[in-house]
Amino acid sequence: MYITFVAYLKYNKMMITGKFPNLRLRRSRRNNWSRRLIEENNLSPSDFILPIFLIDGKNKKQPIKTMPDVFRYSLDKLYPLIDKAIKNKIPMVALFPSTDKRKKNVLGSEALNEDNLVCKAIQLIKKRYKNQIGIMCDVALDPYTSHGHDGIIKSGYVLNDETVEILINQSILQAQMGCDVLAPSDMMDGRIGEIRKSLDRHGFKMTQILSYAIKYASTFYGPFRDAVGSKKILKGNKKDYQMDFRNSEEALREVALDIKEGADMVMVKPGLPYLDIIKLVKQNFKIPVMAYQVSGEYSLLANGITKGYVDKKIILESLLAFKRSGANAIVSYYADRLDKILD
């Protein structure tokens, strides 16, 4: 055991000097002030992105049954959310639509409608707040398709290149509306490069791309699919375009490709079960890495706290784990309650 540990230290170019009893690591843990003095990671509001679910109608704040204390909001309810986010120094919000099923079709055409929920929300936020807060928009078709998939389907298979053409147009539309950060979450090959080229051609050279470079085919997405209305209509699964959760080297290949194609930042999704992937990406590429504490993670924590199985302090512990692994920021449904969590 000792030889193995020494070999590990040499391999990682670490050096520990001193030995017990002269060296007592517990000395610095004894008092609160001392623990704070040497803590290696911490959280601030600047580490968070606030997701917001949108719904048609007026004066609506609709609970999401599978996500305690998370709601869908009509557009006229947006301002108090943004006001609070700015007051709490949250740097960016992420917009997700719950599209009326009557507006869905096999091509996801509503994604290209300049009067869709996301486009109208972007315009409202930009008109009132200018650049006080950033806006991130999902580039994907699953909120808009009648089959719940992220692209065009032919013979049961999601077509790659044909889907990318639609994603390009969706990206340009969102940029025209005023979106600051486009976040392709579809997992189609080659879409980052094509979107980047098209953005530049249309005069949006400063619009950022946050690529969902690593999005695993996960069972942790269930409550989110409830929130956007795709769970009941989803046919089959997404394993032929989202990543296999058994793989890590493949994740590095995905990131390398997206960086080469022009991604400014990358996302790892889900978050907590994939801390090893976040660390791998950060160590290998030194690029801004975002983590998504997805709906399933959130709901497990929220329900565990409500039932008394775990203490609410577990929220802070789980969020800090993202920072410790190397994440620059976290998309979290707890972002609207940071004043209580970080207190």
Residues that are catalytic:
215, 269
Listed in sequence order, the residues at least 6 apart from 114 whose beta carbon sits closer than 8 Å to its beta carbon are: 173, 176, 177
Closest CA to 293 of 47, 54, 81: 47
Q: Which residues pair with 139 in a beta bridge?
A: 184
Contact between 205 and 199 under an 8 Å Cβ cutoff? The reply is yes
- Per residue in 129-141, is it b (16+ CB within 10 Å) or e — as a string? beeebbbbbbbbb
- List C-alpha distances in Å: 189 to 167, 206, 217, 261: 12, 23, 15, 11
Listed in sequence order, the residues at least 6 apart from 24 whose beta carbon sits closer than 8 Å to its beta carbon are: none
Six-digit token pair at 291? 């983590």
Determine the Cα–Cα distance for residues 14 and 260; give it in Å rounded to an integer. Answer: 32
Contact between 331 and 290 under an 8 Å Cβ cutoff? The reply is yes
SS percent in the chain: helix, strand, coil, step 5: 45, 15, 40
Closest CA to 319 of 278, 264, 266: 278
Determine the Cα–Cα distance for residues 140 and 163; give it in Å rounded to an integer. Answer: 9
Q: How many CA atoms lie less than 13 Å away from 315 in the CB half-sphere?
A: 22
